[in-house]
């Protein structure tokens, strides 16, 4: 483990600060639990759930599960990437125009502005997608959602190519606008040239005076001391300018790497999920949604895609997350199918005992309701885990980048509190779909704080420090999360794993 730098020397104080940082991150994660649960309860009420129930017979239980799961995960991934791109754009402008201090790493304005932009972009993107999906489902049903998801997946790779070109042009424009370094370098060169000319003239005058037999010993000490000091000052400014310019280029290169990685991730990670959703929905449309062969085809397809991705010569982070998203979609489909089968099994047992008076239509309605309910619940929870994990990846990277543990965690926590209040105020305008998407974005912002705390835990030089920080994270999350121990434990575990991954 690397040594964690918290700005304190005492081991006890380091443990206290580590526990406090973990507790802050855990509390802000727990604070998102209640708003998310309330929104999900509204979405799974009888009225909002009706359009989804009506489509079970169209695409089948497996198709419904994979379609809702793939859509929810796509929203989560897209909103996080949108936030990262906006944050990177703001940070890039700061770095290119030297709007922050000489030391970009320690600049509060740089990280604060980028963090606010990223959180706002993630939340706004999630709300926009939530509103759009709610409108599509109400007006065009699951088939409309399938078409929208398919078109979006097909468009992402070419848009990825176009975005990279535009990003390079924007970076070049920022470089042209920013002439501060060139002006400073030119000014230093002019000053250095003038100083050399002055010294040369002084030497020449001294030679002439010596030739004439005039003594120069009286003026020599003061003159050469002054010139030496000026020369040292010029060298110091030159060195500082070169170091600052190199630091600027290093941070800009890191920002570009982050953007490219996330854009590649957005372009390709959704393809496996969408393929699975298209195949299972297609079987449902042709009347084989509940057939056992569909399960075999789905399992074979998931296994084949996962094998091809894992065996890829250049295995990347987005491939790993794409596999995880596809497997999560498969699990959601299984849970959706299982919910309907439980209803059938229960009805058969009750009928065998002579207790059931339900008709086949009633049983079918209950099956559709249970399947739809399970699909939404599972998809929403998996999307929340995805947002949290991707946010934790960013938070962990910022801490490793020496952005400052306290600044990242407390800053993200304050931003999340502001976003929660803002979403609550704007909920009548957003609607249930928009509010759900926005809250997923807020969870992503909370994931930055959790990932930063997890990175702090991993950077301790001793296990007690790591355990104390994780204890603060877990205790804070459980305390604010209304003692949802299993859910919180799973979320903290996912965030810790993603925070330890360094895809950049």
Residues 304-324 pLDDT 10s: 888 877 777 666 776 777 777
Rounded CA separation 33/420 (Å): 11
Those residues whose C-beta lies under 8 Å from the C-beta of residue 255, and which sit 6 or more positions away, are: 88, 91, 92, 95
Rounded CA separation 201/265 (Å): 63
pLDDT band at 174 (very low <50, low <70, confident <90, very high): low
pLDDT band at 105 (very low <50, low <70, confident <90, very high): very low
First to last CA, the chain: 20
- DSSP character string of 155-219: HHHHHHHHHHHHHHHHHHHHHHH--HHHHHHHHHHHHHHHHHHHHHHHHHHHHHHHHTT---TTT
Does 282 or 461 have the greater pLDDT score?
282
Does 336 or 468 have the greater pLDDT score?
468
Rounded CA separation 32/442 (Å): 8
Those residues whose C-beta lies under 8 Å from the C-beta of residue 132, and which sit 6 or more positions away, are: 148, 433
Is the pLDDT reported for residue 160 higher than 60?
Answer: yes
The two tokens of residue 26 are: 């855990």
Among the ranges 51-55, 138-142, 198-202, 229-233, which has the highest mean pLDDT value? 138-142
Rounded CA separation 35/96 (Å): 39
- pLDDT for residue 72: 87
Q: What value does the mean pLDDT take over residues 274-298?
A: 77
pLDDT band at 134 (very low <50, low <70, confident <90, very high): confident
| Angle (nearest 5°) at CA 309 between 59 and 328 | 40
Residues 210-233 pLDDT 10s: 666 655 555 555 666 666 677 777
- pLDDT for residue 186: 66
Residues 135-150 pLDDT 10s: 888 888 888 888 998 8
How remote is the C-alpha of 313 from its chain's centroid?
26
Query: Number of C-alpha atoms within 13 angstroms, CB side, residue 155?
Result: 6
The two tokens of residue 187 are: 């000014």
pLDDT band at 296 (very low <50, low <70, confident <90, very high): confident
Do 403 and 115 meet the contact criterion of CB atoms below 8 Å apart? no
The reply to whether the predicted model has a pTM over 0.75 is: yes
Is the pLDDT reported for residue 463 higher than 60?
Answer: yes
Q: What are the residue boundaries of the structural domains of the chain, listed by start?
A: 11-179+251-500, 184-240
């Amino acid at each position: 483990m690397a040594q964690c730098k918290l700005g304190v020397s005492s081991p006890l104080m380091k443990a206290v600060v580590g526990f406090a940082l973990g507790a802050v991150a855990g509390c802000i994660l727990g604070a998102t639990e209640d708003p998310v649960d309330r929104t999900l309860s509204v979405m799974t009420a009888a009225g909002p759930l009706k359009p989804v129930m009506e489509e079970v017979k169209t695409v089948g239980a497996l198709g419904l599960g994979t379609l809702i799961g793939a859509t929810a995960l796509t929203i989560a991934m897209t909103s996080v990437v949108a936030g990262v791109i906006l944050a990177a754009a703001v940070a890039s402008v700061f770095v290119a125009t030297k709007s922050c201090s000489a030391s970009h790493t320690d600049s509060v304005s740089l990280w604060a502005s980028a963090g606010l932009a990223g959180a706002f972009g993630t939340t706004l993107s999630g709300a926009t997608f939530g509103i759009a999906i709610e409108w599509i489902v109400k007006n065009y049903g699951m088939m409309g959602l399938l078409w929208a998801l398919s078109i979006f997946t097909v468009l992402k790779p070419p848009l990825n190519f176009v975005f990279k070109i535009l990003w390079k042009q924007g970076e070049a424009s920022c470089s042209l606008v920013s002439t501060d370094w060139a002006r400073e370098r030119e000014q230093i060169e002019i000053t250095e040239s003038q100083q050399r000319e002055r010294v040369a003239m002084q030497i020449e005058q001294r030679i002439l005076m010596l030739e004439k037999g005039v003594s120069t010993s009286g003026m020599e000490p003061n003159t050469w001391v002054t010139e030496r000091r000026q020369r040292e000052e010029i060298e110091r400014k030159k060195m500082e300018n070169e170091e600052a310019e190199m630091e600027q280029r290093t941070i800009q290169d890191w920002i570009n790497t982050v953007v490219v990685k996330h854009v590649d991730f957005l372009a390709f990670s959704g393809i496996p999920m969408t393929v699975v959703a298209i195949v299972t929905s297609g079987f449902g449309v042709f009347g084989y949604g509940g057939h056992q062969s569909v399960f075999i085809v789905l399992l074979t397809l998931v296994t084949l895609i996962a094998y091809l991705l894992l065996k890829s010569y250049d295995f990347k982070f987005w491939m790993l997350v794409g596999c995880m998203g596809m497997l999560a979609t498969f699990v959601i489909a299984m849970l959706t199918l299982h919910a309907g089968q439980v209803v059938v099994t229960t009805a058969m047992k009750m009928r065998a005992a002579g207790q059931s008076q339900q008709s086949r239509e009633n049983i079918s309605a209950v099956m559709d309701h249970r399947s739809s309910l399970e699909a939404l619940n599972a998809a929403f929870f998996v999307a929340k885990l995805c947002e949290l994990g991707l946010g934790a990846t960013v938070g962990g990277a910022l801490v490793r980048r020496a952005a400052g543990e306290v600044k990242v965690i407390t800053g993200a926590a304050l931003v999340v509190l502001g976003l929660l209040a803002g979403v609550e105020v704007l909920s009548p305008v957003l609607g249930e779909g928009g509010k759900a998407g926005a809250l997923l974005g807020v969870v992503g912002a909370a994931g930055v704080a959790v990932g930063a705390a997890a990175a702090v835990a991993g950077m301790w030089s001793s296990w007690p420090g790591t355990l104390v920080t994780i204890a603060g994270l877990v205790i804070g999350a459980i305390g604010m999360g209304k003692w949802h121990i299993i859910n919180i434990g799973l979320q903290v575990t996912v965030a810790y794993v993603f925070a330890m991954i360094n895809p950049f």
